[in-house]
Amino acid sequence: MASGSQLEAIKGAKVLMVGAGGIGCELLKTLALSGFQDIHIIDMDTIEVSNLNRQFLFRQCHVGQSKAKVARDAVLKFRPHINITPYHANVKDPEFNVEFFKQFNVVLNGLDNLDARRHVNRLCLAAEVPLVESGTTGFLGQVTVHVKGKTECYECQPKPTPKTYPVCTITSTPSKFVHCIVWAKDLLFAKLFGDKNQENDLNVRSNDGTNLTAPTEDVFERRTDEDPEQYARKIYDHVFGYNIEIALANEETWKNRNKPRPLYVRDVLPDNLIQQNGSLENCVTEESVVSSMLSLGLKNPQDIWSLSENSRIFLEALRLFIEKRQKDVGNLTFDKDDQLAVEFVTAAANIRASSFGISLHSLFEAKGIAGNIVHAVATTNAIIAGLIVIEAIKILQGDFENCRMTYCLEHPSRKMLLMPVQPFEANKSCYVCSETPLILEINTRTSKLRDFVEKIAKNKLGMNSPMIMHGSTLIFEAGDDLEEDVAANYALNIDKALAELPAPVTSGTVLTVEDLRQELSCNINIKHREEFDEEKEPDGLVLVGWIAPTQKDTRLVSNGESTSTAHPAVTEMVENSDEVGIAPAKPGTKRKLSEMSEITDNVHDITPRSSRDVNDQVNPQEVEDDNDDVDDDIVILDENPETRKKKRLQ
Amino acid sequence: MDGEELTEEETALYDRQIRVWGVDAQKRLSKAHILVSGLNGTAVEFCKNMVLAGVGNLTLMDDRPVTEDVLQSNFLIPPDEAYYSGRSLDELCCESLKDFNPMVRVSIEKGDLSQFDGEFFDKFDAVVVSCCSLKIKKAINEKCRRRPRRVALYAIECRGSCGEIFIDLQNYTYIQKKSDGTAECQLKYPSLEEAISIPWRDLPRKVSKVYFAMRVIERFELSEGRKPGETSISDLPLILRLRKELCDAQSLSESHVPVSLLERMLAAGGKEHPPVCATLGGVLGQEVIKAISGKGDPLKNFFFFDTADGKGIIEDISNSSTS
Ligand SMILES: [Zn+2]
């Protein structure tokens, strides 16, 4: 039980919890047991089956209902007399403004994405409310404390950005399974089942970007009278056979690479096997999930299918989409919960992997990669929730001196499984909690205002409704409630190059980007640059001025129910990890920006694939060890005064 | 691993954790049987974690009635007298836990565990004990150790802002994953009796002070014939006298068992601090899952958590570790 002074602070406190997921359920329970009386909780999500293994306030019968509301009801059963106010809403909604945040003594985050975390950080800074931030991935977790004027803010350390791959790696020279997944999901799946008007790099390109295949008729277009099976085989032969042959013709590409093997249905599947595909009509009833695995009798998602099994799944899934899901075709985007889509993407990625000599993966693994699925267990969430409450109590008592960031490790570091670290000071060059201007290197002649709004203001700076000013001229503002003529004016300029705007943006221009809801404003010095390295700077722009502090950061990266604070070593690891996304071929590419931002949205959740690596790289500099006070933890059993001297670790 | 495949239902429910520990570990978990004797807040947290993880069988033992102290760290029982009066803690917890995951069999067992025949323990893979005296913990530990098949023992204690987990996996062999491949790793655990009998002077340097403080209070309770939680701050003078005796006998300076630490551990009496329960119950859950699945490096053999410094420390207190 909490001590007397703690109880007093707890009872009088009004706390805001953001997120009622894995950490949120544990946190709400521990807060209620600890004596908190007034808890507000925001979560926009509804309950899913895969939540039930850890989000223990929810049951099967709650699937589809609001997490915030069900969590409240569950906790009231054992603590009926406390106040829990649920909001089934997005924390980014305008109702949760600075005034709203000001009513709380502390904000506790149990979020699953970077975007919302950044937003809450800004509101906490503006409202001057302390924030306890948290995250877990598998057995790893962390709790950090952010108090304006006392510690760094959540964004003082640059966050690892999602990995994007150059288009040519995806379209022509995959070397890892993840490249095949990206190809299958973002190119092939999108081409066959998505919006036909989207730009798509599926066809092989030569180095100068011209479309080599340039078919006179679009092979992907199915004639209305075309037999679905014939069509499926035609697609197979085109993407795994013909396109590979075309790519092979470009000998320069294969000088230092292993050549891929073109695959055709006739080689992979003997005739009798192809025949089997047609005979399964009766397996698919109206009620059941449409599944090619089901109709082919492949049951175990953990199995790695052979090339011929993958080929059969590919053909069958494509046929099922046409015959059973006709109404979806043309407006599908990949969804990890769409069984048939996962089957199709797994098979397509595996066939491509086979062609390129890359090892094949099970549907279970492929689904994890394609869907950026969080690795999550109840135990870590419970531990992290306990640690959040301990920090929250210290904050409520005004005991900021003793606040700690704590890491939950998988492998102990200096005997510690739970490792407290003194919070860092604010980064003086942080654009969020200080007023440091940023420098943007960009090609002002080819980059459009839209690029600036989407890639810089929204993506990099994390603003929701940015307003962009050139001196005193307002050149853009986001929002649905704009005057018609104003909106028309913005629409007129949005696709103009920066240098061609009525108030031209060129080298030396200073733009002010502001989000009124987040009470955040920053100045950006524009620097024109002609060329960008496609491999190293796939975005075609470089934002600098936001320098990581010199102190060595010890933070782990985690995701999902999770955070994305950066540890230099970990950042690097994450960048090498198998995240999904495609970068445009070059700044001038015609890829639609909306599509780009969608791709990056999917990958905010960054999972270190090997947690052991993370731990091994943790080399904390400021781990609290020997304190100077008498009542420290260090027991020296030897009475010899020389050995009695405290040993400083590092 | 051989044996049946997981069902579609299991695969869907456990998807996120299978991504952490793999299908084989999940299958082993679903075949495991765990006994929890003594349902304090930490044990309840642990039970929740195991039921969510999908352990096969969970047996509960605690026939105490519901008290205010029990309720304040228990999220399984509604504080409604009409509901709980006349029923034992294990019945009430069992009823609530069953609801968490229909795939786990949760049951209760009546009687005095320390009096049960050794054979009783054969069906369990792990036994978790709390809310009992050191004497009973030792007796149960010895019974577990004499079984032909390993029955792991975990003893938990949560006192105020501090907590302790003791682990006995007897002889435990597992495959350790290393950056450059794998290696077979053998660990030899001492019994609780053996571990706490190691002279304090022989312990590794810098052993957590929580260890000594726990031993002093434990000895006090043993001499008074009390259960954990029945000691409070009013007992401090007597406990300090015992501290002096023990420290003198062990030639350890009394400063290694600070008064402030003892005070913090005694202040709440029988009431547990819920964040400590959550943290300890989480670490314990992780350890039991590791031992059952054979995946990951198990902790040897004490874990201490203290909210005052926020550290969660592993100490190896065994003869093999002394230098
Ligand atoms: Zn900052």
Q: Residue A346's pLDDT is what? A: 97
Instruction: Indicate if B170 and B75 belong to the same structural domain.
Output: yes
Identity of residue B128: V
Q: Give contacts of A370 with chain B, Cβ < 8 Å.
A: none
Q: For chain B, say whether A545 makes contact (Cβ under 8 Å).
A: no
DSSP structural state of residue A646? P
Average pLDDT of the segment spanning A433-437: 84
Contacts (Cβ under 8 Å, ≥6 apart) of B126: B32, B34, B35, B151, B152, B153, B154, B288, B291, B292
Instruction: Indicate if B157 and B264 belong to the same structural domain.
Output: no
DSSP structural state of residue A189? I
Average pLDDT of the segment spanning A325-337: 89
Query: Residue B3: which pLDDT band, with cuts at 50, 70 and 90?
Result: low
Q: Give contacts of A397 with chain B, Cβ < 8 Å.
A: none
Is B1 part of any domain?
A: no
Does residue A624 surpass a pLDDT of 50? no
Comparison of pLDDT for A429 and A602, the residue scoring more: A429
Q: Residue A429's pLDDT is what? A: 85
Question: In percent, how much of chain A has pLDDT > 70?
Answer: 78
Average pLDDT of the segment spanning A260-282: 71
- Expressed as residue numbers, the domain containing B114 is 8-193+272-315
How many domains is chain B partitioned into structurally?
2
Comparison of pLDDT for A520 and B58, the residue scoring more: B58
Q: What is the DSSP string of B162-182?
A: EEEEEEE-SEEEEEEEETTEE
Q: Residue B28's pLDDT is what? A: 94
Is B247 part of any domain?
A: yes
SS3 A397: coil
pLDDT in tens, A82-124: 999 999 999 999 999 999 999 999 999 999 888 899 999 999 9
Identity of residue A136: T
pLDDT in tens, B114-140: 889 999 999 999 999 998 999 999 999
Q: What is the CATH number of domain A438-544?
A: 3.10.290.20
Instruction: Indicate if B152 and B243 belong to the same structural domain.
Output: no
Q: Which residue of B has its CA nearest to A78?
A: B78
Query: Checking DSSP bridges between strand A38-42 and strand A405-413, what pairing results, if any?
Result: unpaired
SS3 A132: strand
Does residue A205 surpass a pLDDT of 70? no
Q: Residue A552's pLDDT is what? A: 40
Average pLDDT, chain B: 92
Identity of residue A264: Y
Yes or no: say if B102 and B125 are a contact pair by the CB < 8 Å rule: no
Identity of residue B323: S
Q: Residue A102's pLDDT is what? A: 96
Yes or no: say if A314 and A234 are a contact pair by the CB < 8 Å rule: no
Query: Checking DSSP bridges between strand A520-528 and strand A510-515, what pairing results, if any?
Result: antiparallel
* Distance (Å) of CA B21 to CA B53, B183, B286, B289, B295: 11, 18, 11, 9, 7
Q: Which CATH superfamily is domain A1-156+375-429+549-650 in?
A: NAD(P)-binding Rossmann-like Domain (3.40.50.720)
Annotated ligand binding at A22? The verdict is: yes
SS3 A170: helix
The pair of structure tokens assigned to A222 is: 């199915």
Q: Residue A272's pLDDT is what? A: 58
ipTM over 0.85: yes
Query: Residue A71: which pLDDT band, with cuts at 50, 70 and 90?
Result: very high
Q: Which residue of B has its CA nearest to A143?
A: B310
Length of chain B: 323
Comparison of pLDDT for A537 and B143, the residue scoring more: B143
Tell me if A1 and B268 make a contact (CB, 8 A cut-off). Answer: yes
Average pLDDT of the segment spanning A189-198: 86
Residue A189: HSE in the Cβ half-sphere, 13 Å Cα cutoff = 27
CA of A297 to the centre of ligand 1 (A): 54
Tell me if B314 and A418 make a contact (CB, 8 A cut-off). Answer: no
Q: Give contacts of A410 with chain B, Cβ < 8 Å.
A: 296
The pair of structure tokens assigned to A636 is: 């020296």
Does residue A599 surpass a pLDDT of 70? no
Nearby residues for ligand 1 (ion, Cβ within 5 Å): A 153, 156, 430, 432-433
Tokens 């440091």 belong to: A436
Range with the poorest average pLDDT among A234-238, A506-510, B46-50: A506-510
Maximum average pLDDT range among A168-177, A562-571, B101-110, B176-185: B101-110
Is B323 part of any domain?
A: no
Contacts across the A-B interface (CB distance below 8 Å):
209
Tell me if B274 and A634 make a contact (CB, 8 A cut-off). Answer: no
Q: Residue A23's pLDDT is what? A: 96
For residues B310 and A419, what is the distance between their CA atoms, to the nearest angstrom? 7
Q: Which CATH number fits domain A167-370: 3.40.1350.10, 3.30.70.141, 1.10.580.10, 1.10.10.520?
A: 1.10.10.520
Q: For chain A, say whether B314 makes contact (Cβ under 8 Å).
A: yes
Annotated ligand binding at A124? The verdict is: no
Is B165 part of any domain?
A: yes
Q: Residue A483's pLDDT is what? A: 84
Q: For chain B, say whether A550 makes contact (Cβ under 8 Å).
A: no
Identify any residues that bridge with A83 across adjacent strands, giving them in sequence order: A38
Q: Residue A398's pLDDT is what? A: 95
For residues A376 and A26, what is the distance between their CA atoms, to the nearest angstrom? 13
Tell me if A53 and B76 make a contact (CB, 8 A cut-off). Answer: no
Instruction: Indicate if B259 and B282 belong to the same structural domain.
Output: no
Average pLDDT of the segment spanning B100-123: 94
Q: For chain B, say whether A78 makes contact (Cβ under 8 Å).
A: yes
Cα pseudo-dihedral B57, B186, B164, A146, rounded to 10: -100
Tokens 């807040």 belong to: B41
For residues A518 and B156, what is the distance between their CA atoms, to the nearest angstrom? 46
Query: Residue B43: which pLDDT band, with cuts at 50, 70 and 90?
Result: very high
Is B320 part of any domain?
A: no
For residues B156 and B163, what is the distance between their CA atoms, to the nearest angstrom? 8
Q: Residue A361's pLDDT is what? A: 96
Maximum average pLDDT range among A325-334, A524-533, B36-45: B36-45
Q: Is the peptide bond before A443 cis (omega within 30 degrees of 0)?
A: no
Length of chain A: 650
Q: Residue A616's pLDDT is what? A: 34
Range with the poorest average pLDDT among A54-58, A253-257, B33-37, B276-280: A253-257
Count H helices and E strands in chain B, helices first: 12, 10
Q: Which residue of B has its CA nearest to A140?
A: B20
What stretch of H or E contains B51?
Answer: helix B41-53
DSSP structural state of residue B83? H
Q: A residues 16-55 near B, CB within 8 Å?
A: 26, 29-30, 32-34, 49-50, 52-54
CA of A430 to the centre of ligand 1 (A): 5
Burial class (CB in 10 A: 0-12, 13-18, 19+), A398: exposed
Range with the poorest average pLDDT among A191-195, A199-203, A380-384: A199-203
DSSP structural state of residue B234? G
Query: Whole-angstrom distance between the N-terminal and C-terminal Cα of chain A?
Result: 36
Contacts (Cβ under 8 Å, ≥6 apart) of B198: B190, B317, B318, B319, B322
Query: Residue A619: which pLDDT band, with cuts at 50, 70 and 90?
Result: very low
Does residue A560 surpass a pLDDT of 70? no
The pair of structure tokens assigned to A387 is: 């640690």
Residue B230: HSE in the Cβ half-sphere, 13 Å Cα cutoff = 13
Does residue A72 surpass a pLDDT of 80? yes
Does residue B322 surpass a pLDDT of 60? no
Q: For chain A, say whether B233 makes contact (Cβ under 8 Å).
A: no
Annotated ligand binding at A53? The verdict is: yes
Instruction: Indicate if B83 and B145 belong to the same structural domain.
Output: yes
Q: Which of A25, A61, A124, A168 is catalytic?
A: A168
Q: Residue A162's pLDDT is what? A: 65
CA of A19 to the centre of ligand 1 (A): 22
Average pLDDT of the segment spanning B263-292: 93
Long-range CB contacts for residues A246-250, cutoff 8 Å, separation at least 24: A246/A204, A246/A212, A246/A213, A247/A172, A247/A204, A249/A212, A250/A172, A250/A206, A250/A207, A250/A212
Q: Residue A464's pLDDT is what? A: 86
Instruction: Indicate if B181 and B68 belong to the same structural domain.
Output: yes
Average pLDDT, chain A: 80
Range with the poorest average pLDDT among A77-91, A119-133, A183-197: A183-197
Average pLDDT of the segment spanning B270-287: 94
CATH of the domain at B46: 3.40.50.720
Tell me if B13 and A34 make a contact (CB, 8 A cut-off). Answer: no
Residues of chain A with CATH 1.10.10.520: 167-370
Does residue A637 surpass a pLDDT of 60? no
For residues B181 and A185, what is the distance between their CA atoms, to the nearest angstrom? 33
* Distance (Å) of CA A278 to CA A263, A292, B117: 21, 11, 63
Range with the poorest average pLDDT among A468-477, A546-555, B43-52: A546-555
Chain centroid to CA A334 = 15
Tell me if A34 and B17 make a contact (CB, 8 A cut-off). Answer: no
Average pLDDT of the segment spanning A397-422: 93
Of B12, B281, B303, the CB nearest to A417: B303
Query: Residue A204: which pLDDT band, with cuts at 50, 70 and 90?
Result: low
Q: What string of H, E and C letters represents the secondary structure of A283-324?
A: HCCCCCCCCHHHHHCCCCCCCCCCHHHHHHHHHHHHHHHHHH
Does residue B154 surpass a pLDDT of 60? yes
Average pLDDT of the segment spanning A582-586: 46
SS3 A220: coil
A168 classed as catalytic? yes
Q: Residue B139's pLDDT is what? A: 95
Q: Which residue of B has its CA nearest to A392?
A: B275
For residues A339 and B15, what is the distance between their CA atoms, to the nearest angstrom? 14
For residues B222 and B133, what is the distance between their CA atoms, to the nearest angstrom? 7
Range with the poorest average pLDDT among A313-322, A328-337, A531-540, B253-262: A531-540
Annotated ligand binding at A457? The verdict is: no
Cα pseudo-dihedral A595, A596, A601, A604, rounded to 10: 160
Q: A residues 609-628 near B, CB within 8 Å?
A: 612-613, 616, 624
Q: For chain B, say whether A171 makes contact (Cβ under 8 Å).
A: no
pLDDT in tens, B208-262: 999 999 999 999 999 999 888 889 999 999 999 999 999 999 999 999 999 999 9
Does residue B286 surpass a pLDDT of 80? yes
Residues of chain A with CATH 3.40.50.720: 1-156+375-429+549-650
Does residue A216 surpass a pLDDT of 90? no
Instruction: Indicate if B129 and B77 belong to the same structural domain.
Output: yes
Residues of chain A with CATH 3.10.290.20: 438-544
Instruction: Indicate if B67 and B163 belong to the same structural domain.
Output: yes
CA of A453 to the centre of ligand 1 (A): 22
